[in-house]
């Protein structure tokens, strides 16, 4: 095997490994943390109800990601490829769905993500659930809304280069939104004060998307700079995830990146928590301030078990360095969204790759 073929082979190996891990936006840890923390910013009229159901609100913060590979039309609710519409398009895109459909057509919009518009739709659903005093729906939609607001605060959810795949930074998606919070968020300051009424929730959503999109440059640039100056054999390490030895960004590299970003991940998490609380509160006001303390004792809706669809399996794999299988409500595992089987597939290839080219720089 010639030198060029070896190089090609190893590039392929590494690409396979990098592509083996679908992502879940903010990581499960951060999504749950965000929904939970938002409860504590609610006013006295709301906090009792939300606190009584805080476990539900927390655990179900990731329902939309559980549906992502199983429900048609779900995946596109989690992102917006703002740059697909050209430079500075983020400032010009129609803020209202009907206007956007008129300008671009629904199919084109869905292809590039509909997060800002659909997040607003979820907000409207919450208002209706509160008006109807439908306890099950209030809880389910509040949890969903927290998730979607979380997603629009992740810079890489607003660009076509969502996993650094266009700039040789494959894996950066999960690095930013999962690895950093999982390692460092325990020290973050999540006291964000009380919820505020949003005069224009629709535009507040777009403001959040714009701020996220404006951060894309630094998310990519600082990783690139760091990568150039960091010992390559210290960039990754291996951790056991769900019984599988999984390649992850090393603690040293993660902390260095966090410092280079000057706490950007913490700031975005704080903004998310604030906005989730603001949106829950605003929905309650617009619903006429229903008494949430007398909704009866119905149990919250159980999230349905979703069977993954073959055709949705490979939709937008964002990569999150492998988090292991995603447990469903009943503790079972969904086959398609698990990362383990795919890692098992790619791991022997890496080993083979290292065997045939033992003097390659180690990846761990």
Using rule CB under 5 A, residue 213 touches Zn ion? no
User: 151 vs 278, which CB is nearer to Zn ion?
Assistant: 151
User: 17 vs 25, which CB is nearer to Zn ion?
Assistant: 25
Could you give the CA distance from residue 232 to residue 253 in angstroms, rounded to a whole number?
10
Query: Shortest approach of Zn ion to residue 65 CB, angstroms?
Result: 5
Query: Shortest approach of Zn ion to residue 62 CB, angstroms?
Result: 8
Using rule CB under 5 A, residue 78 touches Zn ion? yes
Per the CB < 8 A criterion, the answer to whether 167 and 281 are in contact is: no
Using rule CB under 5 A, residue 275 touches Zn ion? no
Could you give the CA distance from residue 261 to residue 259 in angstroms, rounded to a whole number?
5
User: 270 vs 316, which CB is nearer to Zn ion?
Assistant: 316
Query: Shortest approach of Zn ion to residue 25 CB, angstroms?
Result: 3
Per the CB < 8 A criterion, the answer to whether 152 and 208 are in contact is: yes
The count of chain residues that interact with Zn ion, using the rule CB under 5 A, is 4
Phi/psi of residue 192, nearest 5 degrees:
-120, 10
User: 17 vs 126, which CB is nearer to Zn ion?
Assistant: 126
Query: Shortest approach of Zn ion to residue 133 CB, angstroms?
Result: 28
Q: Which residue is nearest to Zn ion (CB)?
A: 25
Question: What is the contact mask toward Zn ion in residues 125 to 164, using x (rule: CB under 5 A)?
Answer: --------------------------x-------------
Q: Which stretch binds Zn ion (CB under 5 A): 75-83, 242-250, 285-293, 345-353?
A: 75-83
Site residues for Zn ion, 297-316, by CB under 5 A, read none
Query: Shortest approach of Zn ion to residue 347 CB, angstroms?
Result: 27
Query: Shortest approach of Zn ion to residue 122 CB, angstroms?
Result: 12
Using rule CB under 5 A, residue 80 touches Zn ion? no
Residues in the chain: 364
User: 65 vs 182, which CB is nearer to Zn ion?
Assistant: 65
User: 78 vs 135, which CB is nearer to Zn ion?
Assistant: 78
Query: Shortest approach of Zn ion to residue 80 CB, angstroms?
Result: 12
Site residues for Zn ion, 11-50, by CB under 5 A, read 25
Strand partners for 240: 245
Query: Shortest approach of Zn ion to residue 44 CB, angstroms?
Result: 31
User: 271 vs 357, which CB is nearer to Zn ion?
Assistant: 271
Q: Which stretch binds Zn ion (CB under 5 A): 74-82, 118-126, 237-245, 252-260?
A: 74-82
User: 78 vs 306, which CB is nearer to Zn ion?
Assistant: 78
Query: Shortest approach of Zn ion to residue 64 CB, angstroms?
Result: 5
Per the CB < 8 A criterion, the answer to whether 108 and 94 are in contact is: no
Q: Using CB under 5 A, list all residues that contact Zn ion.
A: 25, 65, 78, 151
């Amino acid at each position: 095997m010639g030198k060029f073929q070896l190089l090609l082979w190893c590039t392929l190996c590494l690409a396979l490994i990098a592509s083996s891990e679908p992502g879940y936006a903010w990581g499960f840890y951060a999504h749950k943390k965000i929904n939970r923390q938002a409860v504590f910013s609610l006013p006295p009229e709301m906090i009792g109800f939300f606190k009584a159901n805080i476990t539900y609100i927390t655990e179900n913060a990731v329902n939309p990601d559980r549906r992502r590979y199983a429900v048609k039309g779900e995946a596109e609710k989690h992102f917006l490829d703002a740059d697909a519409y050209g430079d500075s398009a983020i400032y010009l895109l129609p803020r209202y769905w009907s206007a956007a459909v008129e300008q671009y057509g629904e199919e084109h919009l869905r292809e590039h993500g509909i997060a800002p518009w659909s997040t607003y739709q979820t907000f409207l659903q919450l208002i209706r659930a509160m008006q109807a005093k439908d306890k099950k729906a209030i809880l389910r939609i509040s949890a969903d809304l927290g998730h979607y607001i979380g997603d629009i605060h992740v810079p890489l959810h607003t660009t076509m280069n969502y996993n650094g795949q266009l700039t040789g930074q494959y894996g950066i998606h999960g690095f930013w939104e999962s690895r950093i919070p999982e390692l460092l968020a325990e020290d973050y300051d999540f006291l964000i004060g009380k919820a505020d009424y949003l005069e224009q929730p629709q535009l507040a959503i777009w403001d959040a998307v714009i701020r996220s999109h404006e951060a894309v440059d630094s998310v990519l640039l600082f990783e690139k700079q760091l990568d150039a100056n960091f010992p390559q054999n210290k960039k990754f390490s291996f951790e056991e995830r769900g019984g599988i030895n999984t390649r992850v960004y090393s603690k040293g590299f993660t902390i260095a990146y966090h410092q280079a970003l000057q706490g950007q991940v913490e700031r975005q998490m704080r903004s998310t928590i604030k906005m989730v609380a603001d949106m829950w509160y605003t929905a309650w006001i617009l619903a006429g301030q229903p008494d949430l303390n007398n909704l009866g004792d119905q149990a919250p809706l159980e999230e349905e078990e979703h069977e993954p669809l073959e055709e949705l399996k490979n939709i937008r794999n964002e990569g999150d360095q492998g988090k292991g299988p995603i447990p469903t409500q009943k503790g079972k595992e969904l086959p398609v969204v698990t990362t383990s089987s795919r890692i098992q597939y790619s791991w022997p290839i890496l080993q083979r790759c290292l065997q045939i080219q033992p003097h390659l720089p180690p990846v761990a």
